[in-house]
């Protein structure tokens, strides 16, 4: 619970300095497991690519053919499933994030 409060505080600081445009979503990947359940340290090469992330900031959405704004469906704090490849890596306030189009996200964890 403490870490989620810290994550929300950090996310609010980032929102002050960066806002995605259109249907873009700023995400922070979940850290890869560095140990097995038995306590064995995993070498970096054997750690799988993490495809789960937390949404940090979202753009306002896209305009449809009629010019109406269609808002994004994901919200800050949502946990999402990412494609194996894609996204644009960015560094905001010394932290690494990725930007994806909302349509590139594979799903939202409940």
- CATH number of the domain residue 20 falls in: 2.30.33.40
Which string of b and e fits 81-100 if b means at least 16 CB within 10 Å?
ebeeeebeeeeeeeeebbbb
Question: Taking the alpha carbons of 14, 9, 1, 34 in that order, is the dihedral positive or negative?
Answer: positive
What does the pLDDT read at residue 54?
92
Phi, psi of 75, deg, nearest 5 = -125, 160
Full residue range of the structural domain in which residue 55 is found = 2-108
Instruction: Look at the chain and report how many structural domains it folds into.
Output: 1
The alpha carbon torsion through 36, 43, 90, 107 (nearest 10 deg) reads -40
Sites in the chain below the pLDDT cut of 50:
1-3, 6
């Amino acid at each position: 619970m403490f870490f989620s409060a810290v994550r929300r505080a950090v996310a609010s600081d980032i929102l002050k300095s960066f806002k995605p445009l259109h249907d873009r979503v700023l995400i922070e990947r979940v850290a890869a497991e560095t140990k097995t359940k038995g306590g064995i340290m995993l070498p970096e090469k054997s750690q799988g690519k993490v495809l789960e992330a937390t949404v940090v900031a979202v753009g306002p959405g896209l305009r449809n053919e009629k010019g109406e704004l269609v808002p994004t469906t994901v919200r800050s704090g949502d946990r999402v499933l990412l494609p194996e490849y894609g996204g644009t890596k960015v560094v905001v306030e010394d932290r690494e994030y990725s930007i994806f189009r909302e349509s590139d996200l594979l799903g939202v964890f409940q």
